[in-house]
Amino acid sequence: MLAKVTSCAVVGLDGALVDVEVDVSNGQAGFTIVGLPDAAVQESRERVRASIKNSSFSYPFKRITVNLAPADLRKEGPAYDLPIAVGLLMASEQLTADLSRALIIGELSLDGIVRHTNGVLPMAALARERGFDTLFVPASDAPEAALVPDLNVYPIETLFALVMHLQSMQPIAPYHPAHDFAPETAPAYATDFAEVRGQEHVKRALEVAAAGQHNLIMTGPPGAGKTLLARSFPSILPNLTLDEALEVTRIYSVNDMLPADSPLIRHRPFRAPHHTISHAGLVGGGRWPHPGEISLAHRGVLFLDELPEFDSRSLEVMRQPLEDHIVTISRAQGSLTFPANFLLIGAMNPCPCGYYGDPIKECTCSLTNVLRYQKRLSGPLLDRIDIHIEVPRVDYEKLSGDRLSETSDKIRARVEAARARQRQRFAGTKLQCNADMGPGEVRKYCVVDEAGKNLLRAAMQQLQMSARAYHRILKLARTIADLAGCDKIEMPHLAEAIQYRPRKQAG
Ligand SMILES: Nc1ncnc2c1ncn2[C@@H]1O[C@H](COP(=O)(O)OP(=O)(O)OP(=O)(O)O)[C@@H](O)[C@H]1O
Ligand SMILES: [Mg+2]
């Protein structure tokens, strides 16, 4: 007899329906799985066999054929165990159920317990999109699936429990999420901005960066507080909106990185990979491409400390994502696109010894070495960074004084207010913040008066700015105006934005 159950695969960050067809017929006993299965799917035979036996059902010693359709979609991982087992029980007439509007997902252990599966959120989203109303998922993944509204999500503990439910002998209650999305209390941050002494201009620049999601690079001598400032940056970031949280959660779900205690990522990610990271680790890759750090930092921060130490090829491949906010990875089998809309924070010393330009300690590098060090970052990469800021050494008075500066909470309140203005501006569009604006939006929302135009013209000539830099300055000025609560971009806003562009380098 033939039985059909629907399950789901994940391609990139999206779900794709998979029909699991199981045929049990007379003939030489055997178990074959066809339809481009990988090794883990092939091993499914053993798990299904054992879990059927150990759940007190009988395993048919007949000719069993499982087809996973469509055949051209590669099937990865163990998530097809449960649908195969259910199909097998139906095909061997041990179970009758109408599963035409249900999706089944889950890995089985040998004793019939249903185990956690990656990527349940995109699968649930697909189920809803395609008009399925019922989802059978591993019990531990039910909260994640229930993030998608209007679905009956059944948490399944064991194969036996699912069969009992399908036969209406011991119905399982659908999972109802206990909580709504509410802006939660901020997590405990390692350091507060109040504890960073001096560096007020750097804090201001970081506030602007957070408000409009602008990229920023800090240059300064060792021990000036660059790493400290970057690490305390999450404490002034605005909260995620629900839509953003779902976007981020999808990426973490597919990468199997969701925290055990919460199905939803509620705080902006902060990723700080070490400079020895591989090309594929940074932008994504692998034979079956997985999201890299730039996608894991989506809607959050990618902090690259000691920027010139990173492999220059890896940095160059970030150029396209920095502009388009997505990354496309091509393979022989086709290409995949992952979101990568992140805020880049870089930190670096001005030269190998670290003291070039320092007023107190003399730099011991030759000019050639300084130039070579600075050249490790290419012009096109630097052009994509809106805010270039110097972090000089802090003097003793500031460092030893008791005066605490502004707390992160206060700064974050201003950042939130500026974000609220942006959300209002972009309501009904896909944009979230000023950095997302394209040339069309820049023309519409970043209007400057005649005096402003003159200032921009002078700056363009003096700093030899590119067209990109011109647009980036306007977006940055828009954010500075938003922070000030102004509808119009005024001269001081423009002047501050221009001041963040890079000065001439050494030489
Ligand atoms: N502005 C500051 N206020 C308070 N403490 C500071 C400040 N700057 C530096 N420190 C202290 O110095 C330590 C080192 O600072 P940090 O690691 O941020 O320096 P850095 O600029 O990243 O240096 P490097 O270029 O060597 O990486 C901090 O952990 C902190 O204890
Ligand atoms: Mg450092």
In tens, the pLDDT along 313-369 reads: 889 989 999 999 999 998 877 788 999 999 999 999 999 999 998 898 999 999 999
Q: What's the CA gap between 208 and 215, in Å, rounded? A: 10
**Pocket of ligand 1 contains residue 197 by CB under 6 Å:** yes
**Residue 305 alpha carbon, nearest atom of ligand 1:** 27
Tokens 């999450």 correspond to: 234
Predicted confidence (pLDDT) per residue in 389-413, tens digit: 999 998 887 778 777 789 999 999 9
Quick one: pLDDT band at residue 434, thresholds 50, 70, 90?
Answer: very high
Predicted local confidence at residue 503, as pLDDT: 67
Query: What's the mean pLDDT when you consider all of the chain?
Result: 91
Terminal CA-to-CA distance of the chain, rounded, Å?
80
The whole-number average pLDDT for the span 279-296 is 90
What pLDDT is attached to residue 75? 87
Cα dihedral 143→145→150→153 (10° resolution): -80
- For residue 224, the CA-to-ligand 1 centroid distance in Å is 5
Give yes or no for residue 140 having a pLDDT over 80. Answer: yes
* pLDDT of amino acid 294: 96
pTM for the whole thing? 0.90
Residue type, 146: A
| CA nearest ligand 1 atom 18, residue | 225
Say yes or no to pLDDT of 158 above 80: yes
Structure tokens at 262: 């919460």
Element spanning 9, H or E: strand 2-11
Partnered with residue 218 across adjacent β-strands are 347, 389
CB 373 within 8 A of CB 351: yes
Which tokens sit at 354? 């670290």
* Residue tagged 């059927």 (tokens): 52
182 pLDDT more than 70:
no
Top mutation candidate among 193, 228, 275 for ligand 1, by most atoms within 8 Å of CB: 228
Count CB atoms within 10 A of the CB of residue 160: 19
For the CA of 272, the nearest ligand: 2
pLDDT at 500: 94
Q: Is the pLDDT of residue 423 over 90?
A: yes
Q: Which residues surround ligand 2, an ion (CB under 5 A)?
A: 227
Q: What is the pLDDT of residue 74?
A: 83
Q: Tell me how far apart the alpha carbons of residues 310 and 343 are, in angstroms, rounded to a whole number.
A: 17
Are residues 391 and 202 in contact, defined by beta-carbon separation less than 8 angstroms?
Answer: yes
CA dihedral defined by 183, 188, 189, 193, rounded to 10 degrees? 80
pLDDT in tens, 33-56: 999 888 888 899 999 999 999 999
Q: Is ligand 1 within 6 A of the CB of residue 224?
A: yes
Task: For residue 490, report the distance from its CA to the centre of ligand 2, in Å.
Answer: 35
Q: Is the pLDDT of residue 304 over 80?
A: yes
Ligand 1 nearest-atom number relative to CA 394: 1
CA 355 to chain centre: 36
User: How many other C-beta atoms lie within 10 A of the C-beta of residue 11?
Assistant: 17
> What's the CA-to-centroid distance between 224 and ligand 2, angstroms?
8
Structure tokens at 174: 């659908």
Q: Whose CA is nearest to atom 9 of ligand 1?
A: 225
Q: Which has the minimum average pLDDT: 216-220, 357-361, 500-504?
A: 500-504
Nearest ligand to the CA of 222 is 1
Nearest to 129 by CA among 241, 17, 18, 7: 17
Ligand 1 atom 25: the closest Cα is on which residue? Answer: 222
Residue-wise pLDDT for 253-287, tens only, equals 999 998 877 888 888 999 999 999 998 999 998 87
- Summarize pLDDT for 484-499 with one digit per residue, the tens: 999 999 999 999 999 9
CB 198 within 8 A of CB 394: yes
pLDDT at 179: 62
